[in-house]
Amino acid sequence: MMHLFNKMSPFCIRRSICAFMVLMFSMLWQVTAMADIAVIANPASAIGSIDAATVKRIYLGKLKSWPDGSSLTVVDSSAGTAMRQQFLKQVVGKKEIKFDSYWSRKAFSGKGTPPKNLGSDADIKAYIAANVGSIGYINAAQVDATVKVLMKIK
């Protein structure tokens, strides 16, 4: 029995290392891979879809209400996350540091209020599901029937 174990162990060790490496690689891939982002609104919203230029204007505070005149509440995700950095780079066209600096100049001079920072996808989804005039963005994989997708970013 002991002999058999000794014979098997190099293989088992190699297989364990391989499995561990595959696991780590897949975890790393999940962290670094660009996730699809969904720009979402409340299902009751009259807006069916939106383009990237409009989303950019909303997140820079240049569009303060929906086209039908109803009030607009803008929701942002956690600072420093890969998804926020991807969204700001692809849609708003700014690095996170420049986006935050832009809003610090507006907020601390009393000329604007930055998007409401809610944190996790679940928090954002719950907020938008409860507030008709709100807009936000989450990982597209987290979308469910409580929210409506206005735009997808790949």
Partner 1 sequence: MLITQKRLATIIISSSLLMVQSVYAADWTEKVTIRGFASAVYQQTDDPVFFNGDCAREFADNGSGVVVAQPCANSTDPGTVNGVTPANGGINEDGSFRRTRIGLNINANINERVTLQTQFLVLEEEDEYKMHLDWGFISVGLNDNNTVRAGELRLPVGLVNEFQSVGFSFPWIEAPQLFYTSDFNGPNVTRESYRGLNYLWQGYADDWAFTTEIFYGDIALEGMSLNGMFGATLKAEWDDAVYAQASTYSGKMLYEPRMAAMLGETHQVSTFGMGGDLSSFLFYAEYAHVTMGMDVQESNAWYTSVGYQFEEITLMLTYQDMTKGDVAGVDDALKNSQTMSSASLRYDFAYNTALKFELSQIDTEKGVGLFAAGATTDLKPADSVNMFGMALEVLF
Give residues in contact with partner 1 (CB under 8 A).
57, 60, 62-65, 71, 79-80, 94, 97-98, 100-102, 104-105, 107-111, 113
Which residue carries 């000794």 as its tokens? 6
Output the smallest distance, CB 150 to partner 1, in A. 20
User: What are the helix (H) ranges across 33-120?
Assistant: 52-59, 82-87, 96-107
Q: Which residues contact 121 (CB under 8 A, 6 or more apart)?
A: 77, 138, 139, 142
Q: Which is nearer to partner 1, 60 or 147 (CB)?
A: 60
Output the smallest distance, CB 98 to partner 1, in A. 7
Q: Which is nearer to partner 1, 71 or 146 (CB)?
A: 71
Name the helix (H) or strand (E) containing 75.
strand 73-77
Q: Which is nearer to partner 1, 19 or 44 (CB)?
A: 44
| Contact call for residues 51 and 152 (beta carbons, < 8 A) | no
Output the smallest distance, CB 36 to partner 1, in A. 24
Q: Which is nearer to partner 1, 116 or 139 (CB)?
A: 116
Output the smallest distance, CB 65 to partner 1, in A. 6
117: which 2 tokens? 């920072």
